[in-house]
Amino acid sequence: MTMIRAGLLLTVLALALVALLAITRRAQPAGADSVASADPGAEAPGLQPQPIHELRNRNLGGGDEYLVRNLLAGPIEVRCALIKAENVASNPRLPRRLVVPARAEFKLTDLRSVEPTLPAIAEIECGAMVGDPNAPAPDGVSYAIPFYPGTKFTVDQGFGGAYSHHDPESRYSLDLGVAEGTPVIAARGGVVMQVEEDFRASGNDARRFGDRSNYVRVLHDDGSLALYAHLAPRTILFRPGDRIRTGNFLAKSGNTGFSTGPHLHFSVQKNAGFALRSIPFAMPGVDTSN
């Protein structure tokens, strides 16, 4: 049984890398000559996006119990599989899919040797996605402009924008051009589900900067998720679990992550089968077409 635990503990240590949360990887099309220069020294050494779940185990005396915890203030979908298994049985059987509520911990499985006298090796591999896939897609919801009245902004990219709004995750998104430091307010009330705020650099290399945007993710009462991305570092007012109302100050706009210039990326999304899908929405006073 020791060999099972050792193999699985190695996997537990690697889960933060496996559980990649889906965040925006979009940038405003500021023109061919307008590409932000990245400052590789701007980030703290070893800074990585925060994990959204963790797996832990405890010995049962003849087997191990594995539990999966949701680290966010909103639901996530977790899928786990047993890989490289030799002489090991899982109960409940893996692979397995779970929807884990906000900050909850659920039992995933027990692992035991099939034949105790023989060596046993196994690994558990998990991935996670924000949102509840069973939540209905909202229909006919309007959103307020996410800036205080009188704020000057431009619609640099609308729905279906050719530069980066062309896949299901971002097709129905807005890139609103504003000066860095512009106050960003809530376009709709809900619960702050997720916050990322420590990144400082930006650039047009999606592989390098795609998961390094500062953002606030808000969970609405209907299960949809609003994303406010590319925010300035350390300016987010609310913490995960806080309930907000339309018009509350959230943060200051910035130019972080995969971004070609200062702007706010705004989208409404849902988990559509372990993948984020953007949802069309109305924002009175803003032309959402590209």
- C-beta separation of 71 from 50 below 8 A: yes
Residues 9, 126 within the same domain: yes
Domain hosting 71: range is 2-29+48-130
Can you give the pTM of this predicted structure? 0.84
Q: d(Cα 232, Cα 214) in Å, to the nearest integer? A: 7
Q: Determine, yes or no, domain membership for 227.
A: yes
pLDDT in tens, 158-211: 887 777 778 888 899 999 999 999 999 999 999 999 999 998 877 777 777 757
106, amino acid identity: F
Instruction: Tell me what pLDDT residue 277 has.
Output: 95
Whether residue 78 lies inside any domain: the answer is: yes
In a domain, 8, yes or no: yes
Does one domain contain both 216 and 162? yes
5 φ, ψ (degrees, to nearest 5): -65, -40
Domain count within the chain: 2
Top pLDDT among 140 and 184 is at 184
Based on the domain organization, do 165 and 206 belong to the same domain? yes
H or E element at residue 226: strand 225-229
Strands (E), 28-116: 53-59, 64-70, 76-86, 88-91, 96-100, 105-113
Does 135 map to a domain?
no
pLDDT tens across 230-281, in order?
999 999 999 999 999 999 999 999 998 878 889 999 999 999 989 999 999 9
Least Cα distance to 120 among 85, 78, 164 occurs for: 85
The answer to whether 265 touches 217, Cβ cutoff 8 Å, is no
Question: Any idea what DSSP says for residue 40?
Answer: G
Q: Are residues 89 and 190 in the same domain?
A: no
CATH no. for residue 102? 2.60.40
CATH of the domain at 197: 2.70.70.10
Q: Is residue 136 part of a domain?
A: no
Residue 222's pLDDT band (boundaries 50, 70, 90)? very high
